Amino acid sequence: MRAEDPSRVVNVLEGLRIEIPSWGFANTGTRFGKFLQAAAATTTEEKFADAAEVNALTGITPLLALHVQWDLPSGVSDVANIKRLSDKYGVQPGSINPNLFQDQEYKFGSICNPEARIRRKAVDHLLESVEIAKALGSRDVSLWIADGSNYPGGQSVRKRIVWLQEALKVTHDSLDARQRMLVEYKPFEPAFYYTDVADWGMAARLASAVGPQAFVLVDTGHHYQAQNIEQIVAWLLHLGLLGGFHFNDRRYADDDLTMGSIDPYQVFRIFHEIFSEPDPDVSAGIAYMIDQSHNIKGKMEAMVQTVMTAQELYLKAALVDRDRLADLQLAAKTVEAEECLRSAFWTDVRPALREWRRSQGIPEDPLQALRESGYVERIEKERKERNAMLSMSYA
């Protein structure tokens, strides 16, 4: 495909919808404190309003991921409120994220806690999250299990595997036929000896053990340094287990920097693996979600910038001449094969994107349009006082 081939560009871009996270609009910080932003969302309604603005500017973010404890603190009884907000702002609820990491009782784990009563409580929360997803028409229930152990000998690795699998099985079996359960892995943090779902192998094994509606979620920040994420993606595609992504970027650990800010070539290589998948059914279900916590950049600016970055890298990856690449690989022409990839990466797709946006009736440059809209200044005025009252201290 050539960047200047408009009908192909339209087809490719139609395949990319980005789900943005409600928590990406709220104040977040490091473990040392928060830098509060006057324009940050302080209520779920404000998160919906911001998401609607991002969707109006970019045209490709119709879904908002929700965190149960932050957006539906009263559980199922908050569903009516979310439906009202969804109708009011024209943004659909996306994946439902249970929260297994904030309750005081989860100090030694949630679904892997040595105490049966606490495990039960955590499973009940998972089941309630599935009910919320059903009531909202959300396809994906996305589990990040923060459980783990901090010191050698402190916990039984083996018992925790059994508890983990039991909890995921019960949750999986409560899904309805069109729902999915996504299992997110992370090697460390908040636990620092090990986390119970530490890598893609564990997540893939759990997903296939509990049933056909369980898949793996790859958060790009959840790997050790130098791990090859696109190879993991290729394996998960091969196994039919790739459920989706949490995109963010990092230099060191789970830095949650904005997507593609440190290593855009990495994201390009991930998209290239997805475009290389021969079975369209396998790639059709992939959820492209953002999970970043940009506390230096303005929330709205950062989200719009991220969505534009995702589109640029996706389109660049679509440009790879994969037939030619396959021939070069078979002939072991290493440099030519690499150049085949690199030339797609270095193609400037921004003119094609501007053209596509014009054809869709959305601003050619969403970031500039955001600046000119006055939206950020308006919400700063409206939210300034509430944000100033929030606590920012670490200890």
Taking the least distance from each CB to Mn ion, the nearer of 223 and 246 is 246
For residue 315, the one-letter residue type is L
Query: Of the candidates 90, 100, 102, which has an alpha carbon nearest to the alpha carbon of residue 59?
Result: 90
Residue 97, binding choice from Mn ion, ligand RM4, none, Cβ under 5 to 8 Å by partner class:
ligand RM4
Told to check if 67 binds Mn ion by CB under 5 A, we report: no
Choosing from 97, 155, 195, 305, the residue that interacts with ligand RM4 (CB under 6 A) is: 97
Bridge partners, residue 195, by sequence: 148
Angstrom distance (rounded) from CA 259 to CA 226: 17
Told to check if 144 binds ligand RM4 by CB under 6 A, we report: yes
Strands, E, within the chain: which ranges?
18-21, 29-30, 33-34, 63-67, 92-97, 140-144, 148-149, 180-184, 194-195, 214-219, 242-247, 287-290
Choosing from 291, 313, 325, 376, the residue that interacts with ligand RM4 (CB under 6 A) is: 291
Angstrom distance (rounded) from CA 320 to CA 323: 9
The phi, psi pair for 32, rounded to 5°, reads: -100, -15
Choosing from 160, 246, 272, 316, the residue that interacts with Mn ion (CB under 5 A) is: 246
Angstrom distance (rounded) from CA 321 to CA 343: 10
The phi, psi pair for 215, rounded to 5°, reads: -135, 170
Told to check if 219 binds Mn ion by CB under 5 A, we report: yes
Count the residues of the shown chain that bind ligand RM4, applying the rule CB under 6 A: 8
Taking the least distance from each CB to ligand RM4, the nearer of 46 and 291 is 291
Choosing from 71, 140, 249, 291, the residue that interacts with Mn ion (CB under 5 A) is: 291
Told to check if 22 binds ligand RM4 by CB under 6 A, we report: no
Taking the least distance from each CB to ligand RM4, the nearer of 168 and 318 is 168
Told to check if 254 binds Mn ion by CB under 5 A, we report: yes
Q: Let me know: does 249 contact 222? Beta carbons within 8 Å.
A: no
Told to check if 140 binds Mn ion by CB under 5 A, we report: no
Choosing from 219, 249, 273, 277, the residue that interacts with ligand RM4 (CB under 6 A) is: 219
Taking the least distance from each CB to ligand RM4, the nearer of 144 and 163 is 144
CA atoms within 13 A on the CB side of 107: 3
Taking the least distance from each CB to ligand RM4, the nearer of 25 and 375 is 25
Site for ligand RM4 in 235-264 (CB under 6 A): 246, 254
Supply the minimum distance, in Å, between the C-beta of residue 298 and ligand RM4.
Answer: 20
For residue 345, the one-letter residue type is F
Told to check if 19 binds ligand RM4 by CB under 6 A, we report: no
Query: Of the candidates 234, 196, 238, 199, which has an alpha carbon nearest to the alpha carbon of residue 219?
Result: 199
Task: Select from 108-116, 119-127, 284-292, 384-392 the region that touches Mn ion (CB under 5 A).
Answer: 284-292
Q: Tokens 């308006």, residue? A: 378
Angstrom distance (rounded) from CA 383 to CA 46: 9
Taking the least distance from each CB to ligand RM4, the nearer of 254 and 277 is 254
Residues that bind ligand RM4 (CB under 6 A): 97, 144, 184, 186, 219, 246, 254, 291
Residues that bind Mn ion (CB under 5 A): 219, 246, 254, 291
